[in-house]
Amino acid sequence: MTTSAARPATGSHQTAPPSDAPASARRWWVLVIVGLAQLVVVLDGTIVNIALPQAQAELGLSDENRQWVVTAYALAFGALLLLGGRIADFWGRKRTFIVGMVGFGAASAFGGLVSTGELLVTARALQGVFAALLAPAALAVLTTTFSRGRERNTAFAVFGAISGAGAAVGLVLGGVLTEFVSWRWCLLVNVPIVIVAIVAAALVVRESKAEGDNRLDVVGTVVVALGLASLVYGFTQAEDGWGSPVVIGFISLGAGLLALFVLVQKRSDHPLLPLGVLTNRVRGGAFLVQLIVGSVMIGALLYLTFHLQIVLGFGPLEAGLATLPMTLVIMVMAPVLTKLLPVIGPRLLMIVGPIVAAAGLFWLSFITADGGYATHVLPPLIVMGVGLAGIFVPMQNLALAGVAPHEAGAASATSNAMMQIGGSIGLAVYTNLYASAVAGSTAGGLGALVDGYSAAFVAAAVAAFVAALISFFMIRGTKEELLPSGPVVHLG
């Protein structure tokens, strides 16, 4: 791996002059605003999980269509993130951030007022569309605001901790709202948060964008969106067997369209995703780890909430609070690991973190129908929190290491897309494994459900261990190369 100082952008890509950078105090307010936006986006990936049983009963959703309340958001979000990243680069990151926030708030209000299951799925998809504008713009603002050194490491560690804790916070908040108000407030709660973030962003965030050729890659956008949608849909239909023509057809179509997308990007003068963002070994490794972590955070946590409510008989609030220890462990460990990061480097954390998380997930698979929370759920949750903290602290920094300023939006979008697409595919795979395990179980009743949940947790544990292997082989370099304190470096 080699490093070299980044050259100023020239030609058609120019960034805002250094004088536009916020003052030191303003930078930390930018982190607060960006963190708030990320919390809302990540939180909405899981906040409806605990509300699903109530929403399903009230709106008449079938068990087969229930997962689409979660999948519609993640799929729309992931499929359009690359387009959102390029819009942020060329139209303006602050402007895109605010428009994304407005749309996200409106979609949330709509979702909280719907009268049918189909409209709820539609609202969740609309949330995903505007989150695809909001998330990459927020991360690009952070990337250009904190460009190097210790402050950058701290900012990305905080951002990573929010990303990790946000999913679990969503479960707790969803439980509180469902228990004491209504499942609808799991969506309506976004509205006041969005209003605060919009006002703060208007006052604090400075505009930045890549000047010059601002054409969007429409062909690339259509191809990648259809490819991702086909791939995820194929996985969701595998409940009746992986050999089904529908499953094989959609998964093959999705893979083919994604391969076509790569060819389109190679030949495009204004690519939606500059391939250099992906082909860098360190960033590529971090992106793959994000893909797997997304499947764990969105897929595995969903089945944990089902176990808590359906098998253990917890109410929505109790189930949300039952996941809180994992969140607290992440929050406690994050600042400790942030201080250790410059000492031990990110590579060790990216290897050990997934292994520890895998151990927690595998331990969780030993749940039983008559097992208690304190004995069968709490200990593995604590272990998972330690492992996930080790991943989240360095992951976002590595995913955006060495990115040129004019590609910050595209790289940020890819980073977010990996988490969401990983969640969509992971949820589909875990759902099929769950259904197969339930159908093949000899336990019957709650025991059959527990067998299904255990199968999902084992699959998530295997995925986390694969993430450790990816980090071992792909994230290479010295501490100085992986965490540069001087000018932004390009990792090769």
Q: Where are the domains of the chain?
A: 23-216+270-482, 217-269
Which alpha helices (DSSP H) does 22-62 contain, by range?
Answer: 24-59
3-state DSSP call for residue 280? Answer: coil
User: What's the pLDDT score for residue 212?
Assistant: 59
CA atoms of 38 and 396, how far apart (whole Å): 12
Tell me the CATH number of domain 23-216+270-482, given options 1.20.1250.20, 1.20.120.1460, 3.20.20.10, 2.160.10.10: 1.20.1250.20
User: What's the pLDDT band for 108 if we cut at 50, 70, 90?
Assistant: very high
**pLDDT at residue 19 is higher than 70:** no
Residue 189's alpha-carbon distances to 28, 43, 194, in angstroms, are 25, 11, 9
Of the two residues 405 and 379, the one the predictor is more confident about is 379
pLDDT the model gives residue 9: 40
Residue range 115-150, pLDDT digits in tens = 998 999 999 999 999 998 998 888 888 877 776 667
The lowest-confidence range among 362-366, 408-412, 441-445, 449-453 is 408-412
Residue that has been written with the tokens 């893909």 in this structure: 291
* Higher-pLDDT residue of 478, 436: 436
Percent of the chain with pLDDT over 90: 35
In terms of residues, how long is the chain?
Answer: 492
Backbone dihedral angles phi then psi of residue 32, each to the nearest 5 degrees: -60, -45
333-340 long-range Cβ contacts below 8 angstroms, 24+ apart: 333/385, 333/386, 333/389, 333/390, 334/157, 334/158, 334/160, 334/161, 334/164, 334/165, 334/389, 334/392, 334/393, 335/157, 337/157, 337/389, 337/390, 337/393, 338/153, 338/154, 338/157, 338/158, 338/393
